[in-house]
């Protein structure tokens, strides 16, 4: 290599000091805590596996509101509710008083908990202790009943959904240990609820055991928690990144139950997108006004961008 000032390599190294000067020292590399990195990788892998499981959120292919006392359902043109997948005739969903039932189409192989469905069965919703999940298409499809307020809907999942096979993966903000916040838990009186609006416009009173309070940059922030007393906390929040790199409607975060010292660890690195970020067939609760933070939380999941061919 030549020693003159015209050497391209030397020009790059000496740009700030002139010909023959001393090259600037490189900034010291930031060392990431290996334990923290492993923890985040494990959480992200579990999150990915849950989303893309054969019955995960990326398998949703339909949401059908039940407007009558009885509906014939199936993929064929003769069905009152047309499904995107499955046999032409799947069966009939009907209501008697406050209870729903399902009657299968003769000859169509269906099962519940591995047992064949050959006649009318009780069709329990997600508000019942044991919801009914009807499997079809050799177990790849799943039919279930949702209750939202006074309304009911059919939810359809299928393992071959394009939103699953074309899932483009998750993207994350840089985050870091500084976003693992030790927050104070302030309990509410027993029985308190918080009105939560979902993406369909329905308002539901949810149990509101208390709020979490933390400080960032000398400012105190508070978030109301969805939980029964003594249980793990579910936080729904929006922040200054919502619609600006994060999912516009906000994100979710789970914590353990508050400790005996009245504190809880809020790890914003584990903030995740609601199901509505991945499918138009979910009914996601939205962040209440109390949880809209004047703070940029550059940790956790960024907004999801589906491949163009599988975008709804």
pLDDT digits (tens, 9 = 90+) for 244-254: 999 999 999 99
The burial of 256, by beta-carbon neighbours within 10 Å (0-12 exposed, 13-18 middle, 19 or more buried), is given as exposed
Residue 16 scores a pLDDT above 60 = no
60-65 and 151-158 beta bridge pairing: antiparallel
Percentage of the chain exceeding pLDDT 90: 85
Say which residues have a Cβ less than 8 Å from residue 228's Cβ, sequence separation at least 6.
207, 209
Give me the mean pLDDT over the 17-22 stretch. 38
Q: How confident is the model at residue 309 (pLDDT cuts 50, 70, 90)?
A: low
Give me the mean pLDDT over the 6-24 stretch. 35
Q: What is the four-CA torsion angle of 54, 60, 66, 72, rounded to 10 degrees?
A: -60
pLDDT tens-digit map of 190-218? 999 999 999 999 999 999 999 999 999 99
pLDDT averaged over every residue in the chain: 90
**What distances in angstroms separate CA 138 from CA 62, 141, 160, 214, 273, one per listed residue?**
18, 7, 12, 49, 30
Q: Which 8-state DSSP code applies to residue 198?
A: B
Q: Which 8-state DSSP code applies to residue 125?
A: B
When computed from its CA atoms, the radius of gyration of the chain, rounded to whole angstroms, is: 26
Q: What are the phi and psi torsion angles at 116 (to 5°)?
A: -65, 140
Coil, helix or strand at residue 310: helix
Q: What is the four-CA torsion angle of 265, 271, 272, 277, rounded to 10 degrees?
A: 140
Q: Which residue has the tokens 């519940």?
A: 112
Q: Which 8-state DSSP code applies to residue 181?
A: E
């Amino acid at each position: 290599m030549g020693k003159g000032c015209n050497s391209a390599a030397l020009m790059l190294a000496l740009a700030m000091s002139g010909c023959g000067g001393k090259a600037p020292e490189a900034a010291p590399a930031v060392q990431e805590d290996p334990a923290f990195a492993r923890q985040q990788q494990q959480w992200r892998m579990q999150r990915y596996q849950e989303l893309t499981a054969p019955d995960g959120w990326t398998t949703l292919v339909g949401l059908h509101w039940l407007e009558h006392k009885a509906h014939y359902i199936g993929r064929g043109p003769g069905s009152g509710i047309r499904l995107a997948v499955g046999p032409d005739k799947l069966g009939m969903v009907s209501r008697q008083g406050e209870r729903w039932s399902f009657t299968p189409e003769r000859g169509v192989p269906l099962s519940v908990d591995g047992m064949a469905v050959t006649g009318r069965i009780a069709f329990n919703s997600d508000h019942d202790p044991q919801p009914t999940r009807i499997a079809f298409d050799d177990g790849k499809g799943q039919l279930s009943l949702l209750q939202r307020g006074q309304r009911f809907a059919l939810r359809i999942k299928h393992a071959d959904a394009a939103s699953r096979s074309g899932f483009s993966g998750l993207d994350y903000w840089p985050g870091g240990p500084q976003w693992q916040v030790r927050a104070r838990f302030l309990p509410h009186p027993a029985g308190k609820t918080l009105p939560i609006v979902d993406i369909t416009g329905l308002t539901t009173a949810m149990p509101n055991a208390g709020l979490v309070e933390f400080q960032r940059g000398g400012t105190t922030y508070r978030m109301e928690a969805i939980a029964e007393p003594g249980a793990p906390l579910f936080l729904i929040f929006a922040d200054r990144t919502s619609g600006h790199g994060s999912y516009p409607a906000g994100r979710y975060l789970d914590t353990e139950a508050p400790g005996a010292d009245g504190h809880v660890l809020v790890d914003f690195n584990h903030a995740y997108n609601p199901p509505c970020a991945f499918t138009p067939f979910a009914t996601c609760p939205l962040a209440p006004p109390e949880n809209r933070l004047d703070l940029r939380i550059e940790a956790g999941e960024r907004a999801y961008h589906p491949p163009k061919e599988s975008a709804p």
